A = this chain, B = another copy of it.
Amino acid sequence: MKIVKTVKKMQSLSEGLRLRGQRIAFVPTMGYFHDGHISLMKEARKIADCVVVSIYVNPTQFGPKEDFSKYPRDLDRDLKMADSANVDVIFYPSNREMYPAYYQTYVDVEKVTQNLCGMSRPGHFRGVTTVCSKLFNIVKPHVAIFGKKDFQQFITIKRMVDDLNMDLQILGFPTVREADGLAMSSRNQYLSKEERLSALTLFQALKSAQRMYRKGERKSSEIIDQAERLIERAPFTKIDYVKICDTKTLKDIQNIKGESVMALAVKVGKTRLIDNHVFGDELKI
């Protein structure tokens, strides 16, 4: 497994691969891998000649009061895990390499970033789309692979790629969960033992929404009320949002008709967790 730290070297490596007709699959990450990341790397492995994984905790997608500095990092562990997943290249740039002193360009996706996490994390998606634009230009992948736990991120990236005519395919894969249903997240490690128990309420709320939908309920407010009641019952929880949205526009919908997603963000103690369920999909552990 090769470790590349500069933009120039990564671009020339990727350009060489492309010229030799090699297919590049790319998994952008912030590191501190869990099985969710590994599953994306395995999917990448299936469809490409070369699998590139970036490890970069991107400062521009954190708000000033968010957890950028304490976001978990463990490069050695990440490298071992990626190597075991047969990753070919790790792109591991410094902040200086990504955002030199005179840096001043940002990519904005305007509409699908307004609701959900966009409301509580102003500037977050701007940071995400900017760094992904950069990473796509650096890694030059044929396909980039994202987890659907960050559903709004996935939709936003797809919108950006389509709007800016980036010639690559974006694939999303289902959320990987712990044995009890908690969506895997590098932030789960912030949780105390008691908080970890409460955190399960996100999954239970989605399960309950799935059950109501299967029984024929289509009114968003009914499903949301029930989910909120469940979450509020658990200790240490504070709801940021519980919403049902159209999956294309990510606007709130009153009644579930087309493809719709229940998305939720809940603070458990000091840790903000998100999860989601697209109605009609499986909700597997």
State whether the Cβ of A222 lies closer than 8 Å to any Cβ in chain B.
Answer: no
Taking the closest CB of chain B, its distance from the CB of A164, in whole angstroms, is 5
Kindly list chain B residues whose C-beta atoms are within 8 Å of the C-beta of A166. 137
Q: Is A84's beta carbon under 8 Å from chain B?
A: no
The winner among A7, A11, A104, A248 for most chain B CB atoms within 10 A is A104
Provide the residues of chain B in CB contact with A159, threshold 8 Å: 102, 104-105
Determine if A19 is an interface residue (Cβ-Cβ < 8 Å). Answer: yes
Q: Does A160 belong to the interface (CB within 8 Å)?
A: yes
Interface flag for A149 (CB, 8 Å):
no
Contact B105 A167 (CB under 8 A): no
Q: Report B-chain residues with C-beta under 8 Å of the C-beta of A110.
A: 104-106
- How many copies of this chain? 2
Are the CB atoms of B165 and A137 closer together than 8 Å? Answer: yes
Chain A residues 154-176 with CB under 8 Å of chain B are 159-160, 163-167
Which residues 104-123 of A sit at the B interface, judged by CB distance below 8 A? 104-112
Whether B104 contacts A167 by the Cβ 8 Å rule is no
Q: How far is the CA of A137 from the CA of B168 in the complex (A)?
A: 10
In the complex, what residue of chain B is closest to A248 when comparing beta carbons?
Answer: B102
- The smallest beta-carbon distance between A133 and chain B, in angstroms, is 5
User: Does residue A238 face the partner (Cβ distance < 8 Å to B)?
Assistant: no
Chain A residues in the interface with B (C-beta under 8 A): 7, 11, 15, 18-19, 21, 102-112, 129-130, 133-134, 137-138, 140, 159-160, 163-167, 248
Can you spell out 9 A-B residue pairs with CB atoms less than 8 angstroms apart?
A11-B165, A18-B18, A102-B248, A104-B110, A104-B159, A105-B107, A107-B108, A108-B108, A134-B163
